[in-house]
Structure 1
């Protein structure tokens, strides 16, 4: 059983608590956390394809299609055909999404304020640097390597 200072346990538990908080906050606006993420991505990168968005959000394309269906029903998103490929739908925010996005940005600001309450700026800079380094270490560890030999192949 991990102790309460185990970094892997702490990072996992913090991420879980943040997801629960985001779920609650998104729900107050009639959305899911997944829909919130989609709106943020489309605000940052208008015209993403459903496939590109699925890769960014790390879900299956069919999941994105269903989430976009709901956002489209709310009048927040529209699908536009890709002029270069009839099979591709490009996703764009519509004007009714603007006030919702503004509210979600305020929720994000409140989440960050709650998360960092009582931490001096110097500590936040150290934490941010440490998280960036940890992420780089994990990403570097995911790079393809030589195939791992099964135990019976080593003997």
Structure 2
């Protein structure tokens, strides 16, 4: 049993993630957007042409929530819905060129957060932390797949 005075790894991971989300919320608000909108843009950059349902699954929110996010981003000229050539009932989401400066800003924020969060870590230690987190993620994905 772990010593009660020792830091709990899972609590620390949660705390770090919460702090990053809080900082990202502030930065996004400073640009007149929300963290959820930023995440939507990032996910669409990785996998443009996905449906709202697919995006909702990735973002772990309800499709109606993604619909509202996409409506706001469409109104800003950053996202467009295009008809699926194989199924007229389906709309595919695509980024517009207007998104480029926002994505560049998000990348700058990501670089700054990375530097802030890893300040004082040697490259070797950073590599070890990354390796450990990737293994933890793999373990959890495997457990999730087994449970499904």
TM-score of the aligned structures, taking structure 2 as reference length = 0.91
When Rg is computed on C-alpha atoms for both structures, the one with the higher figure is 1
Q: 1:4 to 1:31 in 2, by over 3 A?
A: farther
Residue 64 (1) aligns with residue 66 (2): yes
Instruction: Report the RMSD for the aligned CA atoms in angstroms.
Output: 1.4
Query: What displacement does 1:136 show?
Result: 1.6
Q: How does 1:2-151 map to 2 (within 5 A)?
A: 3=5, 5-144=7-146
The count of residues paired between Structure 1 and Structure 2 equals 144
Query: What displacement does 1:4 show?
Result: 5.9
Runs of 4+ deviating beyond 4 Å: none
Structure 2 stretches lacking a partner, 5+ long: none
Query: What displacement does 1:142 show?
Result: 2.1
Query: What displacement does 1:132 show?
Result: 0.9
User: Which protein has the bigger helix share?
Assistant: 2
1:15-69: CA deviation from partner (whole Å, max 9, x where unpaired): 1111101111111111111110110111122211111111111111111000000
SS at match of 1:69: helix
User: Which protein has the bigger strand share?
Assistant: 1
Tell me the distance in 2 between the aligned counterparts of 1:128 and 1:102: 24
Tell me the distance in 2 between the aligned counterparts of 1:111 and 1:30: 19
